[in-house]
Amino acid sequence: MDTNNHYEAIVIGAGPAGLTAGIYLSRARVRTLILSEGTVGGQMILTHEIANYPGVENISGYQLSMIMRNQAKKFGCDIKSNIQVETMMLEGEVKAVTLADGTKYTADAVILSPGGRSRKLGVPGEEALKGKGISYCATCDGDFFTDKEIIVVGGGNSALEEAVSLTKYASKVTIVHQFDHFQAFEYAVEEARSHPKVSFIMESAISAFHGNEKLAGVEIMDLKTGNKLNYAIDGVFIFIGYVPNTEFLEGKLELNKWKEIIVNTDMQTSLEGVYAAGDSTAKRYRQVTTAVADGTIAALAISKYIHELHKNKSLQNA
């Protein structure tokens, strides 16, 4: 075993859960490596404004990500981003992660925090026009639609909050939602309903996207009558939840029917020495604060787990 590439803990994923785990583990003097296939910050960096993080009145997701990253590095955590994990071996006393470039890392314990990705509508034209008028990130693409009319799809907190944030750019924002009510918190609903630039098409869904080189319009179906109407539109932002990034874990540990990682109260998975945290786990609420809490619990549990490992090895060698 290459001791230079051996860590006491490896964290897969660098969203708020993974970064928090890295902060807690490194501060506890646990040699820790964070591996991220994307940019440090995960889905958090796509959030234009975070206004409900305790102790912070207003901050962008990107800014909060960089603060967490710097904290983790300050305590000695190694972070490698934009890498590709080729294989993982999670069973046994020593876990192993091999990257696409052939680099192999081993660890006594692993925290899985791969997060999720934006859920798609799955209707005709979506794939072809993705990035050509269809977006899943207001922060990334909002300014492309200055003084233009756009649609936001969804009825949760993200959809309503991002719809309001997009009014800084767009001349009109229409929210299309499949139900007659919203799943968002009341404050988000009130803010959207009271905004002069925001309108609503309820109990309806986009059934097709139209356009060649760029989005030109959408077909919206009334879910009560089945009637379909075409609307000319400049852009569509889709916020209908996330799909957990757990395909690489199928057959390796226990997942539920939604492919979310099943954990206990200590964030331990069905495998010994393997923990999980963040949006990829089976839970009801997904917020930056809940991800941070998951990362904290997983890190504390792993610290105890590694302490017991060292203690048992010392007794065996005595």
Q: Tokens 């077909």 belong to which residue?
A: 219
Q: What is the pLDDT of residues 155-201, one digit of tens each?
A: 999 999 999 999 999 999 999 999 999 999 999 999 999 999 999 99
| pLDDT at residue 318, rounded to an integer | 61
| Residues above pLDDT 90, as percent of the chain | 84
Which residue reads 């860590």 in tokens? 7
Q: What is the pLDDT of residue 241?
A: 87
Q: What is the mean pLDDT of residues 44-48?
A: 81
Average pLDDT on 24-42 reads 95
Question: How many contiguous H segments (helices) and E segments (strands) does the chain have?
Answer: 7, 17
Q: What are the pLDDT digits (tens) for 195-230? A: 999 999 999 999 999 999 899 999 999 999 999 999
| Beta pairing class for 204-211 and 235-238 | unpaired
Report the percent of the chain where pLDDT is more than 70: 99
Q: Which of 77, 108, 141, 294 is catalytic?
A: 141
Domains and CATH numbers, the chain: 3-117+242-317 (3.50.50.60), 120-238 (3.50.50.60)
Q: Annotated catalytic, 137?
A: yes
Write down the pLDDT at residue 45.
Answer: 86
The backbone region for 44, taken as left when phi is positive above 0, alpha when psi lies in -120 to 50, beta otherwise, is alpha
Catalytic residue among 2, 101, 108, 140: 140
The active-site residue out of 77, 101, 108, 137 is 137
Task: Please write the tens of the pLDDT for every residue from 63-84.
Answer: 999 999 999 999 999 999 999 9
Does the pLDDT value for residue 270 go beyond 90?
Answer: yes
Q: What is the pLDDT of residue 81?
A: 94
141 is annotated as an active-site residue? yes
State mean pLDDT over 20-30.
97
Using the predicted structure, report yes or no on whether residue 150 has a pLDDT greater than 60: yes
Average pLDDT estimate for 38-43: 90
Which stretch of DSSP H or E encloses residue 216? Answer: strand 215-222
Does the pLDDT of residue 288 top 70, yes or no? Answer: yes
pLDDT at 316: 75
SS (H, E, C) 95-163: EEEEECCCCEEEEEEEEECCCEEECCCCCCCHHHHECCCEECCHHHHHHHHCCCEEEEECCCHHHHHHH
Does 1 have pLDDT greater than 60? no
**pLDDT tens digits, one per residue of 2-17:** 667 999 999 999 999 9
pLDDT of residue 51: 81
